[in-house]
Amino acid sequence: MNNMENKKGKFSALIPFLVFIGVYLGVGIKLTTGGEAMGFYAFKAPIAVILGIIAAFFLIKGSIDEKFDIFIKGCGEENIIIMCIIYLLAGAFSTVSKEMGGVESTVNLGLTIIPPSLITVGMFVIASFISIATGTSVGTIVALAPIGIGFAEKTTISLPLMIGSLIGGAMFGDNLSVISDTTIAATRTQGVQMKDKFRCNVAMAAPAMLVTIILLLIFGRPEVAPAKEVYKYDIIKVIPYIFVLVTALAGMNVFIVLVSGTVISGAIGLYYGAFGLLDLTNHIYDGFVGMFEIFLLSLLTGGLAALVRHGGGLLWITEKIRGTIKGRKSAELGIAAMTALTDVAVANNTVAIIIDGPIARNICEEFKVDPRRSASLLDSFGAIFQGFIPYGAQILMAVQFTEGAVTPFAVMPYLWYQFALAFFVILSIYIPFADGYLNKHPWDFEKWQDAE
C-alpha cells in the first residue's frame, strides 16, 4: 500500500464514488423516463467520473498539490495503463476484422452449418462464438438480431425466446472473451492473467451453456422450420478470430496476440481488396477511437479510486464488509453481490468491474480469496446482470429491432443462460467444482501482494 494512505476507514472519503454513481444513475433514469430509449447510454460516464473527482478534491484532506499528485499516480498506475493499451489494441483488431468481412463470414458460416430446425439453438451458439471472438455483446446483438427476428417471423418460434437466446449467447461470449473490455478490466484490477481467469470461468460457464442448449432443444424447436439456405462466407476470414482465441488461451502475451491478429486481419483485407493500405490505417485508428470512452473512463476512475483509497474510502467498505464475512465462501458471495448491485446501479458491467475491482482485491488480500476466482466472479456477475436488467444496452438494443413488437420485460423470462450461469456460479462457491485448475496451480499471495 502507498505509505501516504490513511490507515483508518472513512465514509466521507467514499462520497466521491457515490457522486459518480448517483449522477450516472440519476441522469440515466431521468433520460429513460423522459422517453430516451437508450437513456443510460446517452449520458457519458466519464463526465460523471469527473464530477466525482471534483468532489474528491473538496472532501479528501490534503493540499491541492498532494491530491493532484495522488490522482495522477492513480491514473498512471501500471495496471490502469496496461488495461487502457489493451483496450486500444482490442478496438483495432475488432474494427479491422469487421471491415475485412470477418463478422459477416462468421455469421454466415454458422447459419449455413446449423439445420433450420435447430435455429433457436443455432442462434445461441452463433452468438456465443461471435461474441467470444469479437469481445462485444452489443456488437453481436446488432449483427444477429435482424437475422434472428426474421427467422422467428418465418416460423412459430416465440420472438421473445429468440431474442432471449441471442442475448444469452452474446453474454456467454462477452464473459469469456479474452478481448472483451470486461475481461480486461477484471483481470487487470485483480492482477491475474487472462488464460487463468478463462480456465476458472469456463468451468462455470460451460455447464450453464449446456443447460441452455438442452432447454432450447426441448422448448425452442419451431413447428414450421424455415427453408435451408446457403449463405456466402469465406473460411479464411474467420481465421483471425480463431488465432486470437487460441493464442490467448495458450498464454501468449496479449499485446502480441492482438497486434498479430490485427496484422492477419489487415493482410486478409488487403488481399481480398476489402480496403487499401491507407484505409487499413484509418480502420486501426477508428478502432482506437471506438475505445475512447472506456479508455478515458478507466483512466479517470483509476485516479478517482486512488483519491478514495488515500482518504480511507475503500478501507471503510472493506471494514463494513469484513463484519459480514466469516470466511472464503462469504467473501466470494460478497464480491458477487457487490458486482451485481453496482451493475444494477450503473447499467454497465465494465464500469461496475472498474469500480468494484480495487475493493474486491482488498477482500482477496484480507480473506485469501484466489484473485483468479475473484476476477471470474466480477466478470460473471457483471455479465449475468448486464444481460438481464431491462434497461441494459443488450436488451434495449435487441428489442429495438422488433419495432415495438416486444418489450424488455417480455424477454426477461427467456434469459435462460443468465439464470443458469447465476446458478452454477453460486453453486461453485459452496461446491468448488470450478477450482480444479486453481488447486493444481496454488496462488502465491505473498508475491502477488508484493507486486501491487
pLDDT at 6: 46
- Backbone φ and ψ for 79, nearest 5 degrees, come out as -65, -35
Report the C-alpha gap between 359 and 230 in whole angstroms. Answer: 50
Question: In degrees, to the nearest 5, what angle opens at C-alpha 98 toward C-alphas 95 and 103?
Answer: 145
| C-alpha grid cell, residue 390 | 431491462
348 has pLDDT over 50 = yes
1 has pLDDT over 80 = no
Contact 324, 75 (CB under 8 A): no
- Which has more confidence, 153 or 186? 186
Report the C-alpha gap between 343 and 359 in whole angstroms. Answer: 15
Report the C-alpha gap between 392 and 32 in whole angstroms. Answer: 11
Give the pLDDT mean for 212-237: 82
Buried b vs exposed e over 398-423: b needs ≥16 C-beta within 10 Å?
Answer: bbbbbeeebebebbbebbbbbbbbbe
Provide CB contacts within 8 A for 44, sequence distance 6+. 293
Reported as a pLDDT band with limits 50, 70 and 90, residue 205 is very high
Neighbours of 312 (CB within 10 A): 22
Neighbours of 431 (CB within 10 A): 10
Report the C-alpha gap between 396 and 321 in whole angstroms. Answer: 33
Contact 228, 407 (CB under 8 A): no
2 has pLDDT over 60 = no
Reported as a pLDDT band with limits 50, 70 and 90, residue 253 is confident
444 has pLDDT over 80 = no
373 has pLDDT over 90 = yes
pLDDT at 451: 59
Report the C-alpha gap between 47 and 51 in whole angstroms. Answer: 7
pLDDT at 147: 78
Question: Mean pLDDT in the chain?
Answer: 84
Contact 169, 140 (CB under 8 A): yes
Report the C-alpha gap between 108 and 229 in whole angstroms. Answer: 10
Place of cell 469481445: 135
Reported as a pLDDT band with limits 50, 70 and 90, residue 33 is confident
Contact 55, 8 (CB under 8 A): no
Report the C-alpha gap between 298 and 188 in whole angstroms. Answer: 11
pLDDT digits 0-9 by tens, 374-400: 999 999 999 999 899 877 778 877 887
pLDDT at 352: 84
> What number of residues does the chain have?
452
Give the type of residue at 213: I
pLDDT at 96: 92
Report the C-alpha gap between 87 and 180 in whole angstroms. Answer: 8
